[in-house]
Amino acid sequence: MVAIIDYGVGNLFSLKSSFALIGKSAVVTGDPDIIRNADHVILPGVGAFGDAVKKLRESGLFDVVKEIAAEGKPLLGICLGMQLLFDRSMEYGEHEGLGLISGEVRSIVPVLPEGSDVPHMGWNSLTFWNSCPIFRDLKEGEFVYFVHSYAAFDCERSLAAVTEYHGVPLTAAVFRGNVFGCQFHPEKSGETGMKILKAFCEI
């Protein structure tokens, strides 16, 4: 069973529906015991980093996520959920993250050409950086769907894939052991996204 962590951030039911499409059982839950007993865990998220990490702490799930990661259970952060995996974010001040992957989340504005559209929103291709199990069924250059204004930096050791936006490479996916992160939304990325979720479930 896949546990999709519900800590009050984001629409989680389209994500749950994606697992139904690939024949995998998934539950949306904020219950620590259900999350601990799941085979795989998803950390979703939309919105601002500071608000999300506050809700994660207030729900008591901040430490639960760290616990399951330490146990070796497969964990996938999606969009803001991926950003929460990092040491810190500089979005509207400095905020401490889960510290499961080394790096920092910062605005993409300073690295883009002046006048670039932000947020980065739409379909962009993936360029693989290191071999990652969740991309086992993908070919170089497949397209996935992004919506973000902040990205992970200083994370080369954990980099799985990048995407190019206005000629600038941005972190698209990371992994470290059993912890994975996608800046894009697999559940909104059609057949390619389903391949990613299926591969994650089979780790």
* Ordered structural domains, the chain, with CATH: 2-201 (3.40.50.880)
Dump the DSSP string for 136-172.
Answer: TT--TT-EEEEEESEEEES-GGGEEEEEEETTEEEEE
pLDDT digits (tens, 9 = 90+) for 103-143: 999 999 999 999 999 999 999 999 999 999 999 999 999 99
Is residue 132 annotated as part of the catalytic site, yes or no? no
Distance of CA 137 to the CA centre of its chain: 18
Residue 79 annotated to the active site: yes
Which position among 40, 148, 185, 201 bears the catalytic label?
185
**Which is the catalytic residue, given 40, 142, 148, 187?**
187
Which percentage of the chain shows pLDDT scores above 70?
100
- Residue 11 pLDDT more than 80? no
Q: Which of 79, 155, 182, 201 is catalytic?
A: 79
Is-catalytic flag, 187?
Answer: yes
Has this prediction a pTM greater than 0.95? Answer: yes
